[in-house]
Chains A and B, each alone.
Chain A
Amino acid sequence: MKRNILGVTIWILAFIIGLCTSSHARVSGVCSNCHTMHNSQNGQPVSADGPNTNLTKYDCVGCHSSSTSSTTYQLGDSTVPVVLYTGGSAPTQYLAGGNFWWVKEGLGNTDGKIGDPKGHNVFLGEDDDFLTEAPGSSINCTNSCHTRLSEKAQAGDPRLQGKYGCSGCHVFVRHHANDHPNGNYNNVVGKDGGWYRYLPSPHVTNYGVEGIEDSDWQATVSASDHNEYLGKATSFTNSGGFMAIGADTMTAYCTGCHGNFHIENADYKGGSPWLRHPSDAVIPDRGEYANYTTYNPLAPVARPDLSNFNGPSATVTPGQDMVMCLSCHRPHGSPYDDILRWDYSQCTVGNSSECGCFICHTNKGTYQ
């Protein structure tokens, strides 16, 4: 009896402590950290370029940038993820999506060109000097939605009109959505929570990216501490997108702009020979691929079903888990061309190196 009471008491206390612990869920903290009602304080504007939409003190980059941290910083009592480090030298740490430092003109993109391949070109007017549209674009619209993130969209849909940059991907952002009820950050974030990392389908209301959000955006990361992504293996002869894939996967989102890169095989079921690198394709449970069994956050995988996940898993199950776009790329920016997660020039067959390709292609080289 005493043991039972003690056990229940411990459980209750743990639950309460868990609730109180900051979990970096939907935005928290004093409202004035982010908002100004009239863009006026002591007779002066709060935002020199303002007022800003949603009565914010700063625009997206204004809040999500820092000159002192490349991962997170404290804005009052709110913890803010950093996607643009504005310090003078390249950051050595960055969050799951990477960092825009390398693609930003005036920072890593020193001549306006060298950094263009190292990130999505989201800054207004800072067009990619090598691309005129999204690589692999399968969309025939004449507006700029699927061409350049650095230009404001001229969209037929009024909800999308004028969007660019951050809001070109994070189209509808819901900072106050209750994405982690009761402070639970091992849950799958979907529509009710504003979608995983605010990535709804721009066009179809009931689609968006689902996933488990790491509580500190992978500022700290390990095999057992990371985001979890959803994937679904479907036909490899179509251009992807939410409607074709029919699921709320990360790959479905990427292929909204890079659709031709989802046309990966002449056989809709896939299989050798591939025409393009597979995405949302099951990692085979045979051959070299069967050796990828311990999660490596450098080459994340997508899961076929997150409903039974109680949080991030350190296990990769070939034959079930999938390679996806983000297995190799970072969506914001990286030190490497093609926004790769590693230096492709280090990928020499037969060598041991920091080449993430070898995490899956285990008999082509050794990742170390």
Chain B
Amino acid sequence: MKHKWLMLIIFMALVLALPQGSWARVQGACSDCHTMHNSQNGATIYANGPYRALTKGDCVGCHTGTNSGSNNIPYVLDNSQPNYGTFGISGNTLAGGNFYWVKNGDDTTGHNVEGIANVDQNIGMTPPGWNSGFNANGQIAPNGWDHQLTCAGVYGCHGKHEEVDDFADIRGAHHADDSTIDGSTVGTSFRFLYGIKGIEDSDWEYQPTSTEHNQYYAVNRTDVSSMPSDTATINYLCAECHGDFHSGTGVSYTGSGSPWLRHPSDFALSSASGAGYTDYPGPFGTKGTYWPGAPLGSDLTGGVLSTVTFSGTDDIVLCISCHRAHGSPYADLLRWDYNNCKASSGNGSECGCFACHTNKY
């Protein structure tokens, strides 16, 4: 008898000694996300249910709420207008932004995800810059865009792009052991973006700082006219739908003057020939201090970086240096209001472009 109690105590000690989060990505009470029968006190709990994986709703069913910094579930949609602030780093939105504005009718402010917003009335269903060739991490929309964008799946951003059903496509990810983010499975990919690497901020960048933020994986390319060789960058994730904006003859050209035809990504500030880029973040801080308002990518060897040394491996422009993946208050899903971007105005403090283009305001 005594041996049994001793064994139980030892077992519980072992359990408690294990590192937090090593068993499961998600944290908190199971009932935060699940209902066994969608029934409580004889009544249906969640309308239109029951839902797959015994959840409280579809993706947005769980991921809807107001971020407080202490919530266990990241909220990407708020039923009331979030506090975004000027650059989305001082309020209650997260790294990807929030779908609130596109849900409430402004198609230009977010990805028009099924179940959140209608099909974009300006663009339709085909993503701008769409190129089906960026399929190293799974083929998105193999038959073209005859289906609205979804959270995950064949027509989605998250997951492995093998199932049309976004739930099925990310099956097992939420409870996967994500202690190592290597892109090998959905659960061990940055933010369930299959094949993509990165370091995940523990609270999804709720009010990030220079020392507390995601660290995005990116590479500095010398040739942007060809298909990229590294398909694990956050920029490649964007390219899976917006590939013509990432690589190809429509991005750069060989000739006199500036080679850029479209804004670079997976390209280091220190590789730019013009002046001012290595004065990042310009008006937003001391030179070389990471500014989460306009994030830069790195090769991840230095972990979460608070300092940018402009080495070519820690100063890499990203798509999300300028855009929010989910949505923002601003057109083109920009992180800031482009109308505040005025050359030669003398005031650069309201336009994130000037974090890199430091001599243009």
Residue A176 at the chain B interface, CB threshold 8 Å: yes
Assess whether B262 is in contact with A39, with CB atoms less than 8 Å apart. yes
Assess whether B344 is in contact with A26, with CB atoms less than 8 Å apart. yes
Residue A158 at the chain B interface, CB threshold 8 Å: yes
The distance in angstroms between the C-alpha atoms of A47 and B257, with both chains bound, is: 20
Find A29's partner among B126, B261, B343 (CB 8 Å cutoff): B343
Residue A353 at the chain B interface, CB threshold 8 Å: no
Assess whether B261 is in contact with A52, with CB atoms less than 8 Å apart. yes
The distance in angstroms between the C-alpha atoms of A77 and B253, with both chains bound, is: 30
Find B260's partner among A54, A158, A176 (CB 8 Å cutoff): A54
Given contacts A32-B338, A176-B359, contact A53 B260 (CB under 8 A): yes
Give, as a whole number of angstroms, the nearest-CB distance from A117 to chain B.
Answer: 29
In chain B, residues 116-151, which have Cβ atoms closer than 8 Å to a Cβ of chain A? Answer: 122-124, 126, 128-129
Find A176's partner among B242, B342, B360 (CB 8 Å cutoff): B360
Interface size of A as a range: 20 to 34
The distance in angstroms between the C-alpha atoms of A43 and B120, with both chains bound, is: 10
Assess whether A176 is in contact with B343, with CB atoms less than 8 Å apart. yes
Residues of B near A43 (CB, < 8 A) are 122-124, 126, 128
Assess whether B123 is in contact with A42, with CB atoms less than 8 Å apart. yes
Assess whether A161 is in contact with B338, with CB atoms less than 8 Å apart. no
Find A160's partner among B126, B256, B339, B351 (CB 8 Å cutoff): B256
The distance in angstroms between the C-alpha atoms of A167 and B257, with both chains bound, is: 10
Residues of B near A37 (CB, < 8 A) are 262-263, 322
Assess whether B345 is in contact with A28, with CB atoms less than 8 Å apart. yes
Assess whether A30 is in contact with B256, with CB atoms less than 8 Å apart. no
The distance in angstroms between the C-alpha atoms of A52 and B261, with both chains bound, is: 5
The distance in angstroms between the C-alpha atoms of A94 and B53, with both chains bound, is: 72
Residues of B near A54 (CB, < 8 A) are 257-258, 260
Q: How many A-B residue pairs have CB under 8 A?
A: 85
Give, as a whole number of angstroms, the nearest-CB distance from A77 to chain B.
Answer: 8
Most chain B CB atoms below 10 A, which of A32, A37, A158, A162: A37
Residue A27 at the chain B interface, CB threshold 8 Å: yes
Residues of B near A176 (CB, < 8 A) are 343-344, 359-360
Residues of A near B257 (CB, < 8 A) are 53-54, 159, 167, 172
Residue B250 at the chain A interface, CB threshold 8 Å: yes
Given contacts A40-B129, A51-B262, contact A162 B343 (CB under 8 A): no
In chain B, residues 242-263, which have Cβ atoms closer than 8 Å to a Cβ of chain A? Answer: 242, 245, 250, 253, 255-263
Residue A226 at the chain B interface, CB threshold 8 Å: no
The distance in angstroms between the C-alpha atoms of A232 and B257, with both chains bound, is: 31
Given contacts A30-B339, A39-B261, contact A161 B256 (CB under 8 A): yes
Give, as a whole number of angstroms, the nearest-CB distance from A58 to chain B.
Answer: 13
Residue A55 at the chain B interface, CB threshold 8 Å: yes
Assess whether B124 is in contact with A30, with CB atoms less than 8 Å apart. no
For the complex, would chain A's binding face be called helix, strand, loop or mixed by DSSP majority? loop
Assess whether B260 is in contact with A55, with CB atoms less than 8 Å apart. yes
Residue of A nearest to B249 (CB): A51
Find B353's partner among A29, A31, A40, A53 (CB 8 Å cutoff): A31
Residue of A nearest to B359 (CB): A176
Give, as a whole number of angstroms, the nearest-CB distance from B131 to chain A.
Answer: 13
Interface size of B as a range: 20 to 34
Find B256's partner among A42, A77, A163 (CB 8 Å cutoff): A163
Residues of B near A30 (CB, < 8 A) are 338-339, 341-343
In chain A, residues 150-196, which have Cβ atoms closer than 8 Å to a Cβ of chain B? Answer: 158-163, 167, 172, 176, 178
Give, as a whole number of angstroms, the nearest-CB distance from A78 to chain B.
Answer: 8
Give, as a whole number of angstroms, the nearest-CB distance from A33 to chain B.
Answer: 9
The distance in angstroms between the C-alpha atoms of A52 and B258, with both chains bound, is: 11
The distance in angstroms between the C-alpha atoms of A144 and B325, with both chains bound, is: 48
Residues of B near A112 (CB, < 8 A) are none
In chain A, residues 15-46, which have Cβ atoms closer than 8 Å to a Cβ of chain B? Answer: 25-32, 37-40, 42-43
Find B261's partner among A42, A53, A160 (CB 8 Å cutoff): A53
Give, as a whole number of angstroms, the nearest-CB distance from B312 to chain A.
Answer: 22
In chain B, residues 208-243, which have Cβ atoms closer than 8 Å to a Cβ of chain A? Answer: 242
Residue A87 at the chain B interface, CB threshold 8 Å: no
Assess whether A55 is in contact with B256, with CB atoms less than 8 Å apart. no
Residue A50 at the chain B interface, CB threshold 8 Å: yes
Given contacts A53-B257, A53-B261, A161-B256, contact A27 B122 (CB under 8 A): no
Give, as a whole number of angstroms, the nearest-CB distance from A62 to chain B.
Answer: 15
Give, as a whole number of angstroms, the nearest-CB distance from A74 to chain B.
Answer: 14
The distance in angstroms between the C-alpha atoms of A53 and B254, with both chains bound, is: 11
Assess whether B250 is in contact with A31, with CB atoms less than 8 Å apart. no
Residues of A near B262 (CB, < 8 A) are 37-39, 51, 55
Give, as a whole number of angstroms, the nearest-CB distance from A201 to chain B.
Answer: 15
B323-361, CB under 8 A of A: which get 1 and which 0?
A: 000000000000000110111110000010100000110
Assess whether B250 is in contact with A51, with CB atoms less than 8 Å apart. yes
Give, as a whole number of angstroms, the nearest-CB distance from B22 to chain A.
Answer: 41
Assess whether A50 is in contact with B338, with CB atoms less than 8 Å apart. no
The distance in angstroms between the C-alpha atoms of A77 and B345, with both chains bound, is: 11
Residue of B nearest to A22 (CB): B344
Residue of B nearest to A56 (CB): B261
The distance in angstroms between the C-alpha atoms of A51 and B251, with both chains bound, is: 8
Residue of A nearest to B242 (CB): A38
Assess whether B343 is in contact with A28, with CB atoms less than 8 Å apart. yes
Chain A residues with a Cβ under 8 A of chain B:
25-32, 37-40, 42-43, 50-55, 77, 158-163, 167, 172, 176, 178
The 9 closest A-B pairs by CB, nearest first: A28-B344, A43-B123, A51-B261, A42-B122, A37-B263, A31-B341, A40-B128, A162-B255, A38-B245
Apart from A31-B342, A37-B322, what 11 extra A-B contacts exist at CB < 8 Å?
A26-B344, A28-B343, A31-B360, A40-B128, A42-B122, A50-B261, A51-B261, A55-B260, A55-B261, A159-B256, A167-B256
User: Can you identify 25 A-B contacts, CB atoms within 8 angstroms?
Assistant: A26-B344, A28-B344, A28-B345, A29-B342, A29-B343, A30-B339, A30-B341, A31-B341, A31-B351, A37-B262, A37-B322, A38-B245, A38-B262, A40-B128, A42-B122, A42-B123, A43-B123, A54-B257, A54-B260, A55-B260, A55-B261, A158-B256, A161-B255, A167-B256, A167-B257
